[in-house]
Amino acid sequence: MLPDDVPPPGGWARVGEVVSDVGPLLVWRSPRTEAAPGPAAPVVGATGPAAPAADERVATSTADAAWRVGVAWVRTGLCERLTDRAVERLRGRTVGGTATVNLPPVRLVLADAALAHLEAQALLGGVAARDAAAGSPDRGPAVSGSSLARVTAVLDRSSRAVHNLFGASGYVDGDAARLARTIDLLGHASGTLPGRVSTTPGVTPGGTPGGEEGQDA
């Protein structure tokens, strides 16, 4: 996400816009870079040109994981903003003399959204509480791939339920629709964390043979 007056790096594609208190923020998607085919990763203790390459891959994986966690934090805040705007809108509307925001079905959706936001913050909170060594190539962010996948799922569910509270107005080109669209796009951007690069071919960081999907990053 960048301010509208800051140009993105070359090759990036614009995917959305967020209206903020400091002005519009543009959401950009960076081009994917596929890893070039090459020999298998070196074993532990390998020396020579292959060892720095392995370190670089681990550092890149760690940076990618930290970026995904940061996007999840931004998405959590945008979900809270969408909920606040829904509450403001429904306070000014009534059904049978009762404020729409006080109807039991609406209160249930808002309560579920509040719990989803708290759960996301709790799962992501390990990054804020990590020590100085966390985030280094040998440690990585203190958020697991399964935790990030859970954050993505709960925010998907809650944001879509809150979006429905706007009714038809939530699907026209307005602040609510743009905000909901941005939340959805950022969900695809953060996703889940890939497994950490193993230094032994066919073995995951935990020492178990097999794939790396779902491992902590």
The DSSP-derived string for 120-156 is: HHHHHHHHHH--TTTTSTTT--S--HHHHHHHHHHHH
80 domain-assigned: yes
**pLDDT, average across residues 132-149:** 61
- Residue 35 CA to its chain's centroid (Å): 23
Q: What is the pLDDT of residues 28-56, one digit of tens each?
A: 777 765 444 445 445 455 455 555 566 66
The side-by-side arrangement of strands in the sheet containing 23-29 is: 2-3, 23-29, 13-20
Q: What is the dihedral of CA 151, 206, 199, 149, to 10 degrees?
A: -10
178 domain-assigned: yes
**Average pLDDT score over the chain:** 73
Q: Which residues touch 84 (CB under 8 Å, ≥6 apart)? A: none
**pLDDT, average across residues 63-76:** 86
Backbone angles phi, psi at 45, to 5 degrees: 90, 5
**pLDDT, average across residues 18-26:** 71
Q: Which residue has the tokens 């999840």?
A: 72
**What's the number of domains the chain is made of?**
1
30 domain-assigned: no
In this model, does residue 125 exceed pLDDT 80?
yes
| Range of the structural domain that residue 120 is part of | 59-192
Q: Which residue has the higher pLDDT, 160 or 130?
A: 160
Q: What is the pLDDT of residues 144-200, one digit of tens each?
A: 888 888 999 999 999 999 999 998 887 777 888 999 999 998 888 776 554 433 333
> Do 135 and 66 contact (CB within 8 A), yes or no?
yes
77 domain-assigned: yes
The CATH number of the domain holding residue 133 is: 1.20.140.10
